[in-house]
Amino acid sequence: MIVPHMRASPPLNHTAPGSRNALLTPEDRQRCVCISQALAAAREAAVAGTATAAAELQQQVADAIAAGGGRVDYVEVRFTRV
């Protein structure tokens, strides 16, 4: 099941609501946008069938986050049947 991510209201725009996100600097919050953008692009590629291997999607997500200034600890992709 794909569900939308919840987003915080100002001043934590673009981050999920949570106590750790309240500690982010304004610069960190801007960098966080690359995470949701990378995940959305991976979802679109999977749905469109342009990326069919989990490893390919994982690499695309990791590359997009790193390009946006983020540090990637891990990326895991799982395909589910609906």
In a domain, 82, yes or no: yes
Q: Residue 74: inside a domain, yes or no?
A: yes
* 8 A C-beta contact, residue 58 and residue 75: yes
* Cα–Cα separations (whole angstroms), residue 22 to 32, 37, 53, 64: 13, 20, 35, 24
The answer to whether residue 73 scores a pLDDT higher than 90 is yes
Domain-embedded: residue 8: no
Residues 6+ apart with CB under 8 A from 55: 77
The pLDDT of residue 1 is above 60: no
In this prediction, residue 64 has a pLDDT band, given cuts at 50, 70 and 90, of very high
Q: Is residue 17 part of a domain?
A: no
- Count of domains forming the chain: 1
Q: Does any domain span residue 3?
A: no
Q: What is the pLDDT of residues 5-61, one digit of tens each?
A: 555 555 545 556 666 777 888 888 888 889 889 999 999 998 888 887 889 999 999
Residue 57: inside a domain: yes
Q: Is residue 76 part of a domain?
A: yes
Q: State the residue range of the domain holding 32.
A: 26-82
